[in-house]
Structures are given as C-alpha cells and as structure tokens.
C-alpha cells in the first residue's frame, strides 16, 4: 500500500483508468488485501494501489473511472497451457478411449479441417470465452500459431504464442528439417510486434520429438531467451514408450539431454515419481497443471501437492477445448482444489489460497512474466479483472479466496482490463465483435459436422 501526497508526480498527469471502491486482492507475497481501494492506471501500467482514504481522490483525474463498489479487483487469470483453435472441436467426440479419441476423431479432424482461417477464428472465439471468464494471459501451442498471435493482438489479449515442433510433416511445416529456420523466423516476426505478445517454443512431446529436435529447439530458446514448453509424462503409455525407447522415464530423459531449466515448462507431469519431482525442483523446471483435461481423458492425477512441497512452481492450464471442454479457469481452480483432496484423502491439501496463486502469480512465474503481470502492484502492467460479489452464490462473504475457488464462476467477472485497455465491461467485449466470430466458428463447425462420421447421442 502507498500513501500518495498532493504533490506526487502521479497527480500531474491524467490517468487513463481509475478504479475505485472495490476490494483489491493484490496476490503479492504479503497477501495484502486492500478494502475501499483505488487503482490508478496510465500507459498500460499500474501507477498506484492504495486505500481511497490515502489518496487525494479529488486531485486525481482519469479519462475513465470504474466504480468497483461491492466488487473484488484482482489480477487477471493466467492460462499456462491451451490449444485455442481446438474450440472448433468442442464436444465433437467425448467419453472415448484416449487412443480412439485421438486417432479416430481428433487427428483426422485436424488433418482435414485445420487451416489458417480455422486457427484464427477458433482463437478469436477462445479469446472471447477466456475474457468472459477472467483470463487475461494465455500460453498456446497449435498449428499456424502466427494466426493465434494475430488473434491475440486483434483482441487485445496478452499471449505467449508458441511455435510448435514435431517430428513429422504438418500442414504448416511440411519439412521438419526446416525447424531451425522456422523457429528463428517465428521469433523475428513476433518479438517486437506488440507488448502483448511474448513468443515461445513448444516441442510437442518426447514421444513425438527426437532428442535432437528437443535439444536443437532448446538451444535456440536459450540463445534467444524465450520460454520452452513440452507435454511431459501425460499418460502411463507415454512413460512406457519413453522407457522402452530410451531406457529411462520422461523427466529423466529430458534431464539427461539437458533441456530442463527455469525456462522450461513441463505440461501435465501426471506420471512422475519422487525422484523426477526432485529433478524438476533442482533444475527449476516449471509445471503446467491441467486437471480437467487429465480427468476427462482419464490420463491420471498429477502429484501436484508433492511438487509444490518440493518447491516447484506450478501454474494452471485448461488444455484444449476438445478435452475439457471449456476454457474457464474458475472451474479449473475448483477442480484442482478438490481432485487432490480426494485422491490423497486429505482435505487440507491444495487449499484455496494455493490454488488461487497457481491461477495468478504462480502462473506468471511459470511463464516467466511475473515481472510484468500476476499481481496488482505499482509498476506492473495493468491486467486486472473485476468480479461482482453481489450474487446469491457469493453470499455471505467470509473469505475472498474461498469464494473465488469454491463458489465463483467465470460468469461473475464483469470487467477485464489487459495492458491498460478495458477489453470487457459489464460482460460486453469491447475489442471485437463476438457475434461475428461466433458466426464464423459456426460456419467452420458446420463443415466439420458434415464431414464427421462418429457417434452421436
């Protein structure tokens, strides 16, 4: 908290946005909660966070004043792992054995229907859904990822679009021998386009990428200082495959080839043993936990409480919409808090505050952007959401964390600010025409449905 005096320089310039009257959940290390708060935003940056009685409000001028009385103001949620364009396959095939689902439904649908148009419009629809449910940053990996990055810029959404790598030809990379050129080109293209965009790399998995691919891309990531992600130890089958192929389990394999460090994010880690957890902790490897996807696909329950105890930084992800089937981090928080309690028969693990950290500041740490976002602090970029607490299901209110994790839903988020821009107000998205995007995705969906031969019920 800070006292702002009448002659502070912040008062000399008109603010872009002033939020008053709400309770701010800062998500800073000290867990500071500020009631009757004022948040000042200018040039995309949080300029002050203070109690309203500690600032001379009469002297503060702002182009836009948002009344947050009765609301919570908190950092926007951070989705550390998703495949946005897969919204186009949402509900196309569910409740199937994993390999049947992948080989007979998802892969054929992707082979047939993924193109630049589908990726862009799917990403736009997904961004609408995320903004409407309180997410302000996502980290994505898919084909034609530049179209996802373009969607983020067009929508005013913060993103880490990841160029993907896999050891077989894809539509957007017919020759994996071009990987290095593609990697460099993606960074060159996106590094300076917008303060919203932080490009990164995604090697699909150790069972689809050779050690050479994994190491080559990691080397470029190190040279260029960008984040490196991979799916890891998602299923028991994967563990068996990697063990057969390399004589070691997935985490040990990646450690042995030298790609684990503080700028590597291992996604899923459903099947990791205690020694592998120790390796990830020692190397500073980050983890993206996607409980809903892991549950729906019956992949398994990642030992996240053990990881956190070991000091690993864990964030939350929704995964793609074909395996969730939504992008709402509120339900992801609820699921994350509950599934580990019942798996360990211990109601004290994954308490609400831990889970809320995973969805905010720890998610920012996982993605290496915690200097920019993840908490409401002076100097950070202004990625904030405002949640209306005046709802029957959020009444009475004893504990903000508890309500956010166990009772709130994405639909309670009223206003969302990303990089200082109001992208949603009173649940209306301001940066693009959502109806138009829904029409486009319905058109794409109709094509997919017409070509679909799977079961229906």
Please choose, out of 6-14, 53-61, 96-104, 245-253, the segment that lies near a copy of itself by the rule CB under 8 A. Answer: 96-104
Q: Are strands 421-425 and 428-429 parallel, antiparallel or unpaired?
A: antiparallel
Query: Applying CB under 8 A, which of residues 345, 426, 450, 453 lies at the interface with a copy of itself?
Result: 345
| Residue 311 interacts with a copy of itself (CB under 8 A): yes or no | no
Site for a copy of itself in 226-255 (CB under 8 A): 236
Residue 33's contacts (CB-CB under 8 Å, 6 or more residues apart) are: 23, 24, 25, 26, 400
Is residue 344 within 8 Å of residue 57, measured between CB atoms? no
- Secondary structure letter of residue 396 according to DSSP: S
Q: Which of 67, 185, 298, 379 binds a copy of itself (CB under 8 A)?
A: 298
User: Cα–Cα distance between 238 and 201 in angstroms, integer?
Assistant: 21
Please list every residue from 141 through 200 that binds a copy of itself, using CB under 8 A: none
- Choose which of 19, 376, 401, 423 interacts with a copy of itself (CB under 8 A): 401
Q: Point out which span in 36-44, 150-158, 181-189, 407-415 binds a copy of itself (CB under 8 A).
A: 407-415
Comparing CB distances to a copy of itself, the nearer of 62 and 301 is 301
Q: Whole-number minimum distance, CB 374 to a copy of itself, in Å?
A: 19
Please name the residues in contact with 365: beta carbons below 8 A apart, sequence gap of 6 or more: 286, 313, 315, 374
Minimum Å distance from CB 394 to a copy of itself?
Answer: 8
Q: Does residue 290 touch a copy of itself according to CB under 8 A?
A: no
Near a copy of itself by CB under 8 A: residue from 83, 255, 306, 403: 403
- Quick one: which segment of 38-46, 281-289, 348-356, 368-376 binds a copy of itself (CB under 8 A)? 348-356
Which residues in 365-404 belong to E strands, given as ranges? 384-388
> Closest CB to a copy of itself among 152 and 297?
297
Q: Which stretch binds a copy of itself (CB under 8 A): 7-15, 186-194, 247-255, 291-299?
A: 291-299
Q: Which of residues 411-430 bind a copy of itself (CB under 8 A)?
A: 411-412
Stretch that binds a copy of itself, among 21-29, 177-185, 200-208, 393-401 (CB under 8 A): 393-401
Which whole-number Å values give the CA distances from 192 to 159, 187, 195, in the listed order?
13, 9, 7
| C-alpha torsion 94→95→97→99, nearest 10 | 10
The one among 96, 153, 215, 278 contacting a copy of itself by CB under 8 A: 96
Within 110-139, the residues that bind a copy of itself by CB under 8 A are 125-126, 128-129, 132-133
The residue from 46, 87, 182, 385 that contacts a copy of itself (CB under 8 A) is 87
**Total Cβ atoms within 10 A of residue 335:** 19
397 binds a copy of itself (CB under 8 A): yes
90 is a site residue for a copy of itself (CB under 8 A): yes
Stretch that binds a copy of itself, among 144-152, 242-250, 272-280, 338-346 (CB under 8 A): 338-346
Do 40 and 62 meet the contact criterion of CB atoms below 8 Å apart? yes
User: Which residue among 11, 327, 369, 382 contacts a copy of itself (CB under 8 A)?
Assistant: 327
- Residues in contact with a copy of itself, counted by CB under 8 A, come to a total of 81
**143, 207, 228, 452: which one binds a copy of itself (CB under 8 A):** 452
The rounded distance, in Å, linking the Cα atoms of 48 and 30 is 17
Residues 24-83, interacting with a copy of itself (CB under 8 A):
31
Alpha-carbon distance 357 to 119, whole Å?
30
Cα separation, 312 vs 279, in Å, equals: 10
Can you read off the two tokens belonging to residue 49? 């966070």
Which of 97, 195, 225, 311 touches a copy of itself (CB under 8 A)? 97
| Alpha-carbon distances of 331 from 109, 141, 313, 387, rounded to whole Å | 27, 22, 20, 15
Give the one residue of 8, 32, 94, 184 binding a copy of itself; rule: CB under 8 A: 94
**Do 235 and 206 touch, CB atoms closer than 8 A?**
no
Nearest to 411 by CA among 388, 433, 436: 388
Kindly state whether residue 299 participates in binding a copy of itself, applying the rule CB under 8 A. yes
Asked if 379 and 368 touch (Cβ cutoff 8 Å), the reply is no
Are 162 and 201 in contact by the 8 Å Cβ rule? The answer is: yes
In the bound state with a copy of itself, the residue whose beta carbon lies nearer, of 190 and 271, is: 271
Helix (H) or strand (E) holding 405: helix 400-406
3-state secondary structure (DSSP) of residue 407: coil
Kindly give, in sequence order, each residue whose CB lies less than 8 Å from that of residue 7, ignoring residues fewer than 6 positions away. none
Binding a copy of itself (rule: CB under 8 A), the pick from 3, 69, 177, 342 is 342
Bridge partners, residue 158, by sequence: 137
């Amino acid at each position: 908290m800070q006292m702002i005096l009448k002659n502070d320089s912040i008062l000399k310039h008109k603010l872009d946005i002033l939020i008053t009257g709400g309770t701010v959940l800062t998500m800073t290390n000290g867990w500071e909660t500020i009631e009757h708060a004022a948040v000042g935003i200018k040039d995309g940056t949080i300029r002050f966070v203070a109690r309203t009685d500690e600032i001379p409000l009469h002297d503060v001028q702002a182009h836009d004043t948002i009344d947050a009385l009765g609301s919570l103001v908190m950092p926007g949620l951070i989705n550390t792992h998703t495949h946005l364009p897969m919204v186009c396959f949402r509900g196309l095939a569910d409740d199937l054995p994993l390999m049947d689902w992948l080989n007979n439904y998802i892969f054929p649908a992707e082979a047939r229907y993924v193109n630049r148009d589908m990726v862009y419009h799917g990403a736009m629809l997904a961004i609408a859904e995320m903004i409407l449910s309180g997410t302000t940053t996502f980290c994505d990996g898919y084909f034609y990822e530049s179209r996802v990055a373009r969607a983020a810029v067009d929508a005013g959404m913060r993103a880490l679009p990841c160029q993907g790598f896999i050891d077989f030809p894809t539509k957007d990379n017919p020759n994996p021998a071009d990987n290095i050129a593609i990697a460099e080109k993606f960074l060159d293209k996106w590094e300076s386009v917008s303060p919203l965009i932080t490009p990164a790399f995604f090697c699909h998995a150790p069972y689809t990428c050779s050690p050479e691919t994994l190491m080559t891309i990691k080397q470029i990531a190190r040279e260029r200082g960008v984040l490196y992600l991979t799916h890891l130890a998602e299923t028991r089958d994967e563990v068996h495959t990697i063990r057969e192929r390399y004589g070691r389990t997935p985490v040990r394999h990646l450690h042995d080839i030298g790609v684990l460090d503080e700028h590597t994010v291992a996604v899923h880690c459903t099947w990791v043993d205690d020694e592998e957890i120790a390796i990830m902790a020692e190397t500073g490897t980050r983890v993206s936990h996607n409980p809903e996807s892991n549950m729906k696909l019956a992949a398994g329950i990642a030992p996240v409480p053990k990881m956190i105890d070991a000091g690993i930084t864990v964030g939350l992800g929704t995964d793609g919409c074909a395996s969730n089937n939504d992008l709402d981090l509120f339900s992801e928080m609820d699921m994350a808090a509950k599934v580990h309690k019942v798996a360990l028969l211990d109601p004290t693990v994954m308490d609400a505050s831990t889970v809320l950290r995973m969805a905010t500041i720890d998610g920012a740490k996982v993605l290496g952007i915690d200097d920019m976002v993840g908490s409401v602090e002076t100097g950070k970029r202004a990625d904030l959401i405002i949640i209306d607490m005046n709802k029957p299901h959020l009444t009475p209110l004893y504990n903000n964390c508890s309500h956010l994790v166990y009772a709130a839903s994405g639909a309670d988020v009223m206003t969302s600010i990303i990089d200082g821009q109001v992208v949603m107000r009173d649940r209306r998205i301001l940066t693009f025409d959502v109806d138009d995007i829904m029409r486009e995705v319905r058109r794409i969906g109709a094509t997919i449905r017409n070509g679909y031969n799977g079961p229906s019920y």
